[in-house]
């Protein structure tokens, strides 16, 4: 994909059309919506690139070089050379974060902007830049510690972020063409994008998806693409807050919604369709069951609307397992992405794959996963295959 925006198009459209909003707000939302439409073709093209899944480390292991650098039996020149090599190799074993100030430019051609904080630098005076730096680090740490995945590509790719994009720009997105995160400052309804670790986790997971399954961004594969980003975004937030599955709110982007809006978040995984209901926003259109699935041409086939169906299934699985969501449910989803999913995967195929992977844990786990998909309307038939119940 070229861009994925955390604020879905149906919400921007509702804001742009609501008579409860001022002309300025409506025009701002319309401009953001128009910008999104311009990149649909580029987004599709990006996802068809081949992405290698493995990485090779240095040929000479670090412990050998460290031993040489400290050995009494090596001369000073050899010890110094080994130490220089160790220092140079260490730069390739972590992702470097770089945060830029976009200075409110509205064109991506002018990004990234002015560098304000790089890996290892002290905090800057710009709190927004510090939030982006810290929360990107939290996301990268989660993928490495929980799944052994290094940065977005498993090769320690650097992560560039630009803050202060546009004027009162109410969105944040991952631009896969430019390979960077972009954050607006927000306006009257939506803001605080750099302060929401689940938002950053969602967006960077789109980048991870490009390097694993490369799910197409249209129809059911596109909804699964959005679903995967919500799953990992919510797990990252839960881990950052040390919350178990039964104790958390399962809300995506709750800290983006400003006071005064009749809503709690951008999306609810526990109860899709209930995140907001405001005359200036419209009502949350997400659905949580296949009986409400309809073919549509809007939003690339409803990728932000129908992602609610697998989102609810993951929530049910995590609740059934108990404990922390990333310990078992998350590992089933991660292994499914790594081994069982292809670019045109449907809900049916994805459900089937998660059950197969769950069986590797134990039969009871597989039953819990199957039951969750049943509850959202994706059911197994008597022959053992899968069907969609409409």
Query: Catalytic residue numbers?
Result: 203, 304
Q: Is the pLDDT of residue 239 over 70?
A: yes
Tracing tokens 């949580």 back to the chain, one arrives at 288
DSSP three-state, residue 114: strand
Q: How confident is the model at residue 132 (pLDDT cuts 50, 70, 90)?
A: very high
- Kindly give the pairing relationship between strand 3-5 and strand 267-268: unpaired
For CA atoms 373, 376, 378, 381, give the dihedral sign. Answer: positive
**Could you give the CA distance from residue 163 to residue 161 in angstroms, rounded to a whole number?**
7
Task: Give residue 2's Cα distance to chain centre.
Answer: 14
Q: Is the pLDDT of residue 225 over 90?
A: yes
Nearest one of 209, 211, 212 to 223, comparing CA atoms: 209
Nearest one of 161, 146, 166, 169 to 200, comparing CA atoms: 161
Residue 311 CB partners (closer than 8 Å, separation 6+): 227, 230, 231, 267, 269, 272, 286, 288
Tokens of 214: 């490369």
Nearest one of 167, 215, 154 to 28, comparing CA atoms: 167
Nearest-Å Rg of the Cα atoms of the chain is: 22
Half-sphere exposure of 280 (CA within 13 A, CB side): 16
pLDDT tens track for 265-308: 999 999 999 999 999 888 999 999 999 999 999 999 999 999 99
pLDDT tens track for 89-121: 555 567 899 999 999 999 888 999 999 999 999
Q: How confident is the model at residue 146 (pLDDT cuts 50, 70, 90)?
A: very high
**CB neighbour class for 61 (10 Å; exposed up to 12, middle 13-18, buried from 19):** exposed
DSSP three-state, residue 273: coil
pLDDT tens track for 2-12: 566 666 666 66
**Could you give the CA distance from residue 371 to residue 300 in angstroms, rounded to a whole number?**
29
Question: Residue 160 belongs to what H/E stretch?
Answer: strand 159-165
Q: Is the pLDDT of residue 361 over 90?
A: no
Mean of the pLDDT values across residues 217-224?
96
Nearest one of 154, 132, 146 to 207, comparing CA atoms: 154
Tokens of 31: 């401009």
Per DSSP (E only), the strands in 177-290 are 180-184, 251-252, 267-268, 277-278, 282-283
Please tell me what DSSP assigns to residue 381: -
Q: Is the pLDDT of residue 389 over 50?
A: no
Tracing tokens 């697998």 back to the chain, one arrives at 310
Tokens of 261: 């809006």
For CA atoms 19, 24, 29, 33, give the dihedral sign. Answer: positive
Q: How confident is the model at residue 150 (pLDDT cuts 50, 70, 90)?
A: very high
Q: What percent of the chain is helix, strand and coil (3-state, nearest 5)?
A: 45, 15, 40
Please tell me what DSSP assigns to residue 314: H
Please tell me what DSSP assigns to residue 84: H
Beta bridge partners of 276: 263
Q: Name all domains of the chain by residue range, CATH numbers in brackets.
A: 3-49+96-388 (1.10.390.10)
Q: Which bin fits 164, alpha (ψ -120 to 50), beta or left (φ > 0)?
A: left
Residue 258, CA distances (Å) to 150, 190, 261, 334, 382 in order: 34, 6, 6, 33, 49
Lowest mean pLDDT among 126-130, 214-218, 313-317: 214-218
Nearest one of 386, 327, 381 to 353, comparing CA atoms: 386
Beta bridge partners of 174: 4, 181
DSSP three-state, residue 49: coil
pLDDT exceeding 70 applies to what percent of the chain?
80
Tokens of 142: 């989660």
pLDDT tens track for 303-350: 999 999 999 999 999 999 999 999 999 999 999 999 999 999 999 999
């Amino acid at each position: 994909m070229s861009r994925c925006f955390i604020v879905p198009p149906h919400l921007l459209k509702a804001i742009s059309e609501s008579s409860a909003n001022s002309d300025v707000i409506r025009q701002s939302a319309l401009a953001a919506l128009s910008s999104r439409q311009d990149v649909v073709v580029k987004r599709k093209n990006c996802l068809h690139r081949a992405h290698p899944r493995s990485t090779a480390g240095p040929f000479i292991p670090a412990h050998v070089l460290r031993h040489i650098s400290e050995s009494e039996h090596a001369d000073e020149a050899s010890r110094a050379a080994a130490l220089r090599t160790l220092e140079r190799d260490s730069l390739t074993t972590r992702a470097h974060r770089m945060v830029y100030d976009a200075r409110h430019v509205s064109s991506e051609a002018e990004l990234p902007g002015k560098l304000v904080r790089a890996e290892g630098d002290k905090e800057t005076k710009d709190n927004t830049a510090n939030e982006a730096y810290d929360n990107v680090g939290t996301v990268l740490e989660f993928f490495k510690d929980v799944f052994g995945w290094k940065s977005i590509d498993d090769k320690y790719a650097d992560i560039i972020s630009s803050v202060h994009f546009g004027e009162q720009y109410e969105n944040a997105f991952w631009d896969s063409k430019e390979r960077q995160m972009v954050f607006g400052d927000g306006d009257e309804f939506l803001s605080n994008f750099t302060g929401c670790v689940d938002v950053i986790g969602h967006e960077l997971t789109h980048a991870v998806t490009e390097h694993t399954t490369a799910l197409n961004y249209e129809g059911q594969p596109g909804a699964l693409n959005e679903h995967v980003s919500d799953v990992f975004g919510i797990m990252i937030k839960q881990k950052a807050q040390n919350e178990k599955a039964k104790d958390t709110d399962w809300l995506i982007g709750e800290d983006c919604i400003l006071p005064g809006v009749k809503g709690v978040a951008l999306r609810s995984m526990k109860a899709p369709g209930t995140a907001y209901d405001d005359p200036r926003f419209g009502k949350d259109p997400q659905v949580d069951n296949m009986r409400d699935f309809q073919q549509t041409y809007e939003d690339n086939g409803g990728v932000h609307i129908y992602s609610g169906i697998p989102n609810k299934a993951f929530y049910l699985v995590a609740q059934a397992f108990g404990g922390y969501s990333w310990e078992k449910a998350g590992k089933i989803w991660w292994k499914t992405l790594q081994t069982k999913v292809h670019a045109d995967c449907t809900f049916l195929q994805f459900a089937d794959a998660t059950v197969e992977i769950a069986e590797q844990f134990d039969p009871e786990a597989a039953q819990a996963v199957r039951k969750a998909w049943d509850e959202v309307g994706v059911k197994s038939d008597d022959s053992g295959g899968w069907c969609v119940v409409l």
